Amino acid sequence: MIPRSPLDDPAVAAFAWARFRRLMWLMLSVTITMVIGACVLLYRENGFVSVHFYIATALGIGFMMLLMSALMGLVFLSHGTGHDEAIVDPLEDEEDQR
């Protein structure tokens, strides 16, 4: 039988997703700050190269930071709610035999 996940409870799920959204808003502000800082630093070092260079830099840094924070936020959400413990591990019996 598959154990119930704590995220099946609407109150726990609402709290967990609210915390995830708060984390993402915080990371969005950190990402915007870092993108602006990187563009300013690149402009000071290289001068005006091309607008496409700065657009590509901003999109690359922004996308990677937001993707990283979203994935890590989901890991924290899953572990913090106990959702990780609510799985059926087919290899559990093999580990006990060792």
Host domain of residue 36: 9-83
Residue 4 belongs to some domain of the structure? no
Residue 37 belongs to some domain of the structure? yes
DSSP state of 91: T
Residue 74 belongs to some domain of the structure? yes
Distance CA 63, CA 97 (A): 45
0.85 exceeded by pTM: no
| pLDDT tops 70 at residue 16 | yes
Residue 18 belongs to some domain of the structure? yes
The CA dihedral of 74, 8, 11, 86, to the nearest 10 degrees, is -60
| pLDDT tops 80 at residue 29 | yes
Q: Supply the pLDDT for residue 98.
A: 60
| pLDDT tops 90 at residue 68 | yes
Residue 36 belongs to some domain of the structure? yes
Domain total for the chain?
1
Q: Do residues 60 and 39 lie in contact, with contact meaning Cβ atoms separated by under 8 Å? A: no
Please write down the long-range contacts of 51-54, taking CB distance under 8 Å and 24 or more positions apart: none
